Amino acid sequence: MTELDEERQLQEYDKGGMIAVIEAYPDQCREGIALGDGFRPEIPTGVDKVIVCGMGGSAMAGEVARRFSRVPVFVNRNYTLPSFAGDGTLIIAVSYSGNTAETISGLDAGLRARIPAFAVSSGGKLEEIARSHGIPHLRVPRGYQPRAAMGYLALSVLRVLAQAGLLRIEPDWEELIHALESVRDASRAAVPEADNPAKQLARSLYGRIPLFYGTAGNTDLVAMRWKTQVNENSKQPAFWNVIPELNHNEIVGFSDERLRQGLSCVFLKNDYDHPENRARIEIMHELLHGKVPAVVIGADGRSELSQVLSQIHFGDYVSYYLAILNQIDPTPVELIESFKRRMSAR
Ligand code: F6R
């Protein structure tokens, strides 16, 4: 059995030092807020929709913006822009490396259509394009895996949107950092498994294919992030879906005992769920009893923002410990990189 409480065991697999990055995440978020604060790009008045061009870990900045914006935010994960891009649109191109082809292509399309834009990256082509087109560019620190730099990317963008009056919440940044710190204090590597909820959840998911279920417009982005973190950190299949939609289709997939073997369900709720969706989680949990292992996970913090982001942070820990149980280094994502190399070699 892999021991999650032995530092030596963690070090044996965590060659890339992911635990140090995760444990410093509350500080990273604080820095992300400060970066956004100091950036102050000129945002035209009359913005009535935002398109965030980004992929993978960088697209999460768009998901967080979508969750808290007062105008529609479309997270554009494609080479082209949606047809509604035009008057009143603001484009935010986010790519941690600055070299993601789809993101650059989306921004290019926006620049050709003369849509106001700004870009966020740690450098790369995105920074060069921003410079040559004279659009504002926010540079975040280098040296991270993009998904592990979510604090820099998402919080800087959120801060800029707050300054521009484009959020429907008034973030309490200090409360957010405290909520993240309390997740860290409970889930960090030094806390033994007997008292550590992230280690315990990882242990219960080990050897299974997790299905992460969020709620529409609330914890949906959390479910997406947990799934992608389990894919990339723990290096195993995982899936996500959204309540109430999944009650109209996916639920039927649990009918056959043989075909539900090896699955595990994780419901992600918080205090801001629609009461009907909360009832749906309870009923589904009951229905799955004795069929598929299922847990309901709540959120730390007080505000909507803290609950969403601290639950995401908790998922980072779970995916990390699951990687250690899978006896694999959480940091490298060789398959993503070799795929990108093959695409650009053509
Ligand atoms: C790797 C990761 C990926 C990247 C994605 C886009 O850690 O999270 O999902 O985020 O391949 O690359 P960037 O973020 O550099 O635009």
Q: Are residues 64 and 194 in the same domain?
A: no
Q: Of the residues 163, 183, 207, which one is the last residue of a structural domain?
A: 163
In a domain, 97, yes or no: yes
Q: Are residues 117 and 257 in the same domain?
A: no
Q: Out of 232, 235, 269, 313, pick the active-site residue.
A: 232
C-beta of 147 in contact with ligand 1 (< 6 A):
yes
pLDDT score, position 187: 98
Q: Of the residues 100, 135, 163, which one is the last residue of a structural domain?
A: 163
Q: Are residues 99 and 239 in the same domain?
A: no
Is 274 assigned a catalytic role? Answer: no
pLDDT score, position 225: 99
* CA atoms within 13 Å, Cβ hemisphere of 47: 24
Other Cβ atoms closer than 10 A to 294: 19
Q: Are residues 155 and 197 in the same domain?
A: no
Residue from 85, 96, 103, 89 nearest 138 by CA: 96
pLDDT score, position 157: 98
Is 248 assigned a catalytic role? Answer: yes
In a domain, 342, yes or no: no
In a domain, 346, yes or no: no
In a domain, 340, yes or no: no
Pairing of strands 89-94, 49-53: parallel
Tell me, in angstroms, the distance from the centre of ligand 1 to residue 119's CA: 15
In a domain, 54, yes or no: yes
In a domain, 53, yes or no: yes
C-beta of 311 in contact with ligand 1 (< 6 A):
no
Q: Which domain holds residue 130?
A: 18-163
Tokens representing 176 are 């957010």
Residue from 328, 260, 245, 248 nearest 294 by CA: 260
Q: Are residues 42 and 140 in the same domain?
A: yes
Q: Are residues 151 and 78 in the same domain?
A: yes
pLDDT score, position 2: 81
Q: Of the residues 109, 129, 163, which one is the last residue of a structural domain?
A: 163
Parts of the chain with a pLDDT under 50: none
Q: Are residues 183 and 155 in the same domain?
A: no
Compute the chain's Rg from CA coordinates: 20
Q: Are residues 74 and 33 in the same domain?
A: yes
Q: Are residues 28 and 95 in the same domain?
A: yes
C-beta of 96 in contact with ligand 1 (< 6 A):
yes
Q: Are residues 189 and 106 in the same domain?
A: no
C-beta of 330 in contact with ligand 1 (< 6 A):
no
Domains in the chain, number: 2
Q: Are residues 207 and 257 in the same domain?
A: yes
Other Cβ atoms closer than 10 A to 100: 25
pTM of the model: 0.98
Pairing of strands 73-76, 49-53: parallel
In a domain, 334, yes or no: no
pLDDT score, position 147: 98
Tokens representing 294 are 């299922």
Residue 69: C-alpha distances to residues 256, 264, 316 (Å): 41, 32, 24
Q: Are residues 141 and 222 in the same domain?
A: no
Residue from 305, 72, 70 nearest 168 by CA: 70
pLDDT score, position 240: 98
- Ligand 1 atom at shortest distance from the alpha carbon of 228: 9
H or E element that contains 7: helix 7-13
- The enclosing domain of 194 has a CATH number of 3.40.50.10490
Owner of token pair 């061009």 = 53
How far is the C-alpha of 175 from the C-alpha of 180, rounded, in Å? 9
Owner of token pair 């913006």 = 65
In a domain, 168, yes or no: no
